[in-house]
Structure 1
Amino acid sequence: MKNVSVHEVPAGVQLVDVREADEFSVDHAAGATHIPLSEFTARVSEIDIDRDIYVICKSGGRSLQASEYLELAKGLAPINVLGGTDAWREAGLPME
């Protein structure tokens, strides 16, 4: 699995936010798709496997779990965003 900093996430990519609904509703990276980790295995079919899959959470722990699941259980090559939404916000990247 590949890990990248928030500065290495290209614009317009498939970015999956695995934080819970209350966290996501406060703010999130612009354009992120919300699939909470607590629902991840049931909703994994919502991810477009024909596109790169960038996974983000608050600080990097839950996105690592989700990425490991995608890699080990589904045979995919997800990209974990290190530092998560906290780093995204601190970098001044677009938020919604």
Structure 2
Amino acid sequence: MIHEVDLSSFATAHGNGAYVVDVREPHEYIAGHVTGAVPMPLGQVPARMGELPTDRPVYVICASGNRSLTAAEWMNDKGVDAWSVAGGTGAWMRAGGPITRGAGPA
């Protein structure tokens, strides 16, 4: 089952310290990502499932919401409570959400 969260609910969760995974490619992540997001390109998700928490929701974001839906489905199949962020980073930026540029989560 695929879970999707709207921007308003994601903003609340993010403000409360949500665990966020960005499944875009490294050059996309560096150009601007949700502050605090952990970089995990889509192709790496299956091999890195063990890094994800299982005791709280994981919010998955990409550019527009397509790759994050795929990643969230994979994660949910492995017992992770994963939620795809509707509209992705593009919608987050347009809504004025905090963005960090550079290589590491911040």
TM-score normalised by L of structure 2: 0.84
Matched, 1:65 2:46: no
Q: Identify unmatched segments of 5+ residues in structure 2.
A: 101-106
Q: C-alpha displacement at 1:25, in angstroms?
A: 0.5
- Aligned match of 1:89 in 79, 88, 93? 93
Q: What's the secondary structure of 1:86's corresponding residue?
A: helix
Give aligned-pair identity as a percent.
42
CA contact (8 A) 2:54 2:79 kept: no
The answer for the alignment partner of 1:53 in structure 2 is 58
Q: How far apart are the structure 1 equivalents of 2:76 and 2:99?
A: 27
CA RMSD of aligned residues (A): 1.0
Q: What's the secondary structure of 1:79's corresponding residue?
A: strand
Q: How far apart are the structure 2 equivalents of 1:60 and 1:23?
A: 14
The answer for the alignment partner of 1:44 in structure 2 is 49
Q: C-alpha displacement at 1:47, in angstroms?
A: 1.0
Q: Identify unmatched segments of 5+ residues in structure 1.
A: none
The answer for the alignment partner of 2:20 in structure 1 is 15
Q: What's the secondary structure of 1:70's corresponding residue?
A: helix
TM-score normalised by L of structure 1: 0.93
Letter in 1 for 2:96: G
User: How far does the alpha carbon of each residue in 1:40-80 deviate from its partner, in whole angstroms, 9 at most, with x for none?
Assistant: 111111111112111100000000000111122x0333111
- Aligned match of 1:80 in 79, 84, 93? 84
